[in-house]
Chains A and B, each alone.
Chain A
Amino acid sequence: MSEIYDIGYRHYDGPRLGGGHATRALAVHSLRGIYGLGRTARSKIMPFSLATIMLLPAVVSVAVMAMLGERAMTYSGYAVIMQPIAAIFLASQAPTAVAPDLRHRVLPLYLSRPITVSAYVGAKVAAMTGALFLMLAAPLILMYVGELVIDLDGPPQTKEFLGALSMALVLALLLATFGLALASLTPRRGLGVASVIAVYLLSFASVPLVYTALDMSGYHSAASWAWLMNPFWLVDAVQVWLFDTPPNADGAYPGGPMPAVIVVALIGLALAVLAARYRKAASR
């Protein structure tokens, strides 16, 4: 195990937990930081209020199920409908995970311990993915538990629920890698928030416009590809392909495995950007 200097202090002779443990500790610490746990009350306000807004439709849906016996929200469409909230969460919290370390240039300190650049990036991505997954999955789980407790007519939609849950993980990974890659390009928090939300809104606002314009002009197959320019509809297209759910967009998505290939390629691209960024930051 590496020591920086041995200047004669008493040596540590407790158990050595190794690099994996350090990486795990960093991931847990980052995950807590994203939700503001262990920080001031003011930094808890944002993540928790966004997570609460995210839960509201699920609560309403459970209430509707209890009183009217109908489903108000589908599992497969939840992320697409609530996408602005998830995107704001990503934009506001991704910079808190990466910006302070870059701004105070403490990366060499991390790297003097048994943590490599890739382990550091992996821990941050895992933390952000976990935070987003918690936020995306909690309403689904709440609705499913509500459905089981209320015992609606017909069998519970377990297949759709599990499909939506696994897609939430894919979506969380895609959003986390992209959000962190964008946020890590600047050491300034405010600018990081603005750049993540700007890129998201660009796709959120332009995609329906491009789709409508292409569809009205008769380019129907090109129009269906327009949906894939937004991460939420892209992952929904994968869900349609894998689990045969109804699409949550006007018209249909391009079928086949292409959306899934794009998701994998985008995650790979974002990870490559992150790796390049941190290799540069570590060498300063």
Chain B
Amino acid sequence: MNTVVAGITYRALLGRRRIILLLLLPLALIGLAVLLRVIGSDDQRSAVLLMEKFAIGTMLPLLGLIAGTGVIAPEIDDGTIIHLLSKPISRPAITRTKFLVAASLLALFAAVPTYVAVWLLVGNEDGLAPGFALGALVAGIAYAAVFLLLGIVTRHAVTIGITYALVWESLVGGFVPGAQQFSIQRWALTVADQLSDSPFLTTRVTFGFAVPALVVVTVGAVLWAGHRLRGFALTGDE
């Protein structure tokens, strides 16, 4: 953890246009929740549907992508990463710092709006709101780690990440149940299910698999990202 690096990263993410994107998605989620409430479908079924399809299924991977790649990919893209890499700071420490920045942003922009949206719809019934908030938090942290790694490994991080989230987690996961075992979104729903006893929320991944998987993916991605940055080659493909 390096506070100067963290400060620079925060400024790069929040001071530019990226913050519009970071704000747009949570605002859309809360807007949808308000709309559902206004037209009178504020029951648990639609709350769970909103969470599964929009909050966990769309907003979370996108925010993870924007924050996770946003902490490092622009610097690699325009070459200014060389100023950071040439300082006597250990490279794994740089990745750890950047990961913590991305994770904190996801807590703020994903987990908090998730709680607010569920609370708007069903209040605190059956522990749905804290359940989904915790699910969004842990899955957001895992996404931040994975997409940080992806941002270091490839310049097409955003495209590959969105293809994973859309094609693997949503499309393939919808047809092939086995694919859901290896889906961060499903792990998030399992965590949410653990805290909530709503009958509308069902999961196929067991809690005993989801938690170790989340930990392994998060820690593994951060460690590997640090390793990749240690042997980083500053060559472009454009």
| B162 contacts partner chain A, Cβ-Cβ < 8 Å | yes
| A219 contacts partner chain B, Cβ-Cβ < 8 Å | yes
Establish whether residues A198 and B62, one from each chain, have CB atoms under 8 Å apart when the complex forms. Answer: yes
Quick one: which of A186, A198, A205, A212 contacts B57, CB cutoff 8 A?
Answer: A205
Query: What 6 pairs across the A-B complex have the smallest Cβ distances?
Result: A205-B58, A92-B159, A193-B158, A42-B237, A217-B39, A213-B41
Write out the residue numbers on chain A whose beta carbons fall within 8 Å of the beta carbon of B163. Answer: 88
Quick one: which of B36, B46, B77 contacts A190, CB cutoff 8 A?
Answer: B77
| A146 contacts partner chain B, Cβ-Cβ < 8 Å | no
Q: How far is the CB of A84 from chain B (nearest CB, A)?
A: 5
| B184 contacts partner chain A, Cβ-Cβ < 8 Å | no
- Distance between Cα atoms of A219 and B66 in the complex (Å): 35
Write out the residue numbers on chain A whose beta carbons fall within 8 Å of the beta carbon of B49. Answer: 209, 212
Q: How far is the CB of A106 from chain B (nearest CB, A)?
A: 14
Establish whether residues A210 and B159, one from each chain, have CB atoms under 8 Å apart when the complex forms. Answer: no
User: What residues of chain A have their CB less than 8 Å away from a CB belonging to chain B?
Assistant: 39-40, 42-43, 45-46, 53, 84-85, 88, 91-92, 100, 103, 185-186, 188-191, 193-195, 197-198, 201-202, 204-206, 208-210, 212-214, 216-217, 219
Q: How far is the CB of B106 from chain A (nearest CB, A)?
A: 14
Q: How far is the CB of A278 from chain B (nearest CB, A)?
A: 18
Known: A210-B35, A213-B46. A198 touches B24 (CB 8 A): yes
Establish whether residues A213 and B36, one from each chain, have CB atoms under 8 Å apart when the complex forms. Answer: yes
Establish whether residues A88 and B159, one from each chain, have CB atoms under 8 Å apart when the complex forms. Answer: yes
- Distance between Cα atoms of A92 and B57 in the complex (Å): 20
Interface string of B131-154 (1 = CB under 8 A from A): 000000000000000000000000
Quick one: which of B40, B73, B155, B162 contacts A197, CB cutoff 8 A?
Answer: B162
- Distance between Cα atoms of A91 and B162 in the complex (Å): 10
Write out the residue numbers on chain B whose beta carbons fall within 8 Å of the beta carbon of A91. Answer: 158-159, 162
Known: A42-B237, A198-B62. A209 touches B50 (CB 8 A): yes
CB contact list, B70-114 vs A, under 8 A: 70, 73-74, 77-78
Write out the residue numbers on chain B whose beta carbons fall within 8 Å of the beta carbon of A53. Answer: 167
Residue on B with the closest CB to A216?
B41
Q: How far is the CB of B212 from chain A (nearest CB, A)?
A: 29
Write out the residue numbers on chain B whose beta carbons fall within 8 Å of the beta carbon of A188. Answer: 74, 77-78
Known: A84-B166, A92-B156, A186-B17. A198 touches B41 (CB 8 A): no
Known: A88-B163, A209-B53, A219-B39. A194 touches B171 (CB 8 A): no
Q: How far is the CB of A67 from chain B (nearest CB, A)?
A: 21
Establish whether residues B54 and A214, one from each chain, have CB atoms under 8 Å apart when the complex forms. Answer: no
CB contact list, B24-60 vs A, under 8 A: 24-25, 28, 32, 35-36, 39-41, 46, 49-50, 53-54, 57-59
Establish whether residues A209 and B158, one from each chain, have CB atoms under 8 Å apart when the complex forms. Answer: no
Establish whether residues B54 and A206, one from each chain, have CB atoms under 8 Å apart when the complex forms. Answer: yes
Write out the residue numbers on chain B whose beta carbons fall within 8 Å of the beta carbon of A210. Answer: 32, 35
Establish whether residues A201 and B158, one from each chain, have CB atoms under 8 Å apart when the complex forms. Answer: no
Establish whether residues B53 and A214, one from each chain, have CB atoms under 8 Å apart when the complex forms. Answer: no
Known: A190-B69, A197-B162, A217-B39. 8 other contacts (CB 8 A): A46-B156, A88-B159, A189-B77, A190-B74, A194-B62, A194-B69, A206-B28, A213-B36
User: Which interface residue of A189, A201, A205 has the most chain B CB atoms within 10 A?
Assistant: A205
Write out the residue numbers on chain A whose beta carbons fall within 8 Å of the beta carbon of B74. Answer: 188, 190-191
Write out the residue numbers on chain B whose beta carbons fall within 8 Å of the beta carbon of A85. Answer: 167
Known: A188-B74, A213-B46, A216-B41. A193 touches B159 (CB 8 A): yes
Known: A100-B238, A186-B17, A216-B41. A198 touches B66 (CB 8 A): yes
Residue on B with the closest CB to A193?
B158
Write out the residue numbers on chain B whose beta carbons fall within 8 Å of the beta carbon of A186. Answer: 17
Q: How far is the CB of A131 from chain B (nearest CB, A)?
A: 15
